[in-house]
Structure 1
Amino acid sequence: MRYPILIEEGSDNAAFGVVVPDLPGCFSAGDTLDEAMEAAREAAAAWIDAALDAGVDIPAPSRLADARSLPGYEGWSVGIIELDPALFDDSIERVNITLPKRVLRRLDDLAAARHQSRGAFIAELTMHKR
């Protein structure tokens, strides 16, 4: 999926600033244009991940012409970041993992104490704030 970005050009004394206007509050910066673009991709991925965790709908990308005409960004360049569609995929996937029996037993005991399945417990562990 491609999202338009707005880029404020950097200088010797200031970083490049990047805003993803379709994702409210999503912005980043970098000392070079390449660093700023990569930081924008990372910020957008984190924004989408947090929104999915919170049950918030992910806005569709706007048209470049719409991004170009946003008030307050006169003189900024317009670009595109491409996001991996897997970021938006909340479908269930079966996985096979290998663990020592003692670790698996401990995992199952912890899950049982929370009245959860093994899979639900693992998912909960990974969804906690980092």
Structure 2
Amino acid sequence: MLYPIAIEIGDENHAYGVVVPDISGCFSAGDSMEDVIKNAKEAISGHLELLAEMNQLPPEAKPLDYWIKDEEYSGWAWAVIDIDVEPYLGKSTKFNVTLPDLLSKKIDDQVKASPNLYKNRSHFLQVAALHELQNGI
């Protein structure tokens, strides 16, 4: 999942500040942009681990465009951190799913067309289920 991070630019006397707006309470800092990226990834991973321990799903990341328009972060720099959320979802369970042929074909076509997003049909269904659950169906 791609989590946008808002970066408050630092200077000689102040570190760069980082906010992960999609994850409540997730903050970080760093003395350089390289530190910001590394520390933000660690902060996100730590928060997702705590959420998993509390049986909560990782929050869905809103698109970067959503946050850039937020006046609270006016003048901040932005980056996106790629986090594999699968380790925070627990052990995988295998089960059979029955789908109509057309739906199965459409899923396979989407997987084939988006190899950077989906590993296989099971991964597609996992991403779809996570999306629905994060949006409070």
TM-score, with structure 2 as normaliser? 0.63
For residues 4-57 of structure 1, what are the alpha-carbon distances to aligned partners after superposition, in whole Å with 9 as ceiling and x for unaligned?
111111110110111110000101000111101110000000000000101223
Aligned to 1:70: 70
Letter of the aligned partner of 2:56 in structure 1?
V
Q: Distance in 2 between matches of 1:50 and 1:71?
A: 29
Partner of 1:83: 83
Misfit runs of 4+, over 3 Å: none
For residues 79 and 87 of structure 1, the distance between their equivalents in structure 2, rounded to whole angstroms, comes to 23
Aligned residue for 2:78, secondary structure, equals strand
- SS of the residue aligned with 2:90? coil
TM-score by length of 1: 0.66
Percent of matched pairs sharing the same residue: 34
- The total of aligned residue pairs comes to 93
Aligned counterparts of 2:25 and 2:89: Cα–Cα separation in 1? 22
- SS of residue paired to 1:23: coil
SS of equivalent to 2:46: helix
Structure 2 residues without counterparts, runs of 5 or longer: 94-137
Tell whether the 8 Å contact from 2:27 to 2:40 is kept in structure 1 after alignment: yes
Aligned amino acid, residue 65 of structure 1? D
RMSD over aligned Cα atoms: 1.6
The one-letter code matched in structure 2 to 1:72 is: E
After TM superposition, give the deviation of residue 78 of structure 1 in Å. Answer: 1.4
Q: Distance in 2 between matches of 1:87 and 1:38?
A: 19
Match of residue 31 from structure 1? 31
Q: Helix, strand or coil for the counterpart of 2:73? A: coil
- For 2:34 and 2:27, locate their aligned partners in 1 and report how far apart those are by CA, in whole Å: 15
Which protein shows a greater Rg? 1
Amino acid in structure 2 at the alignment position of 1:41: K
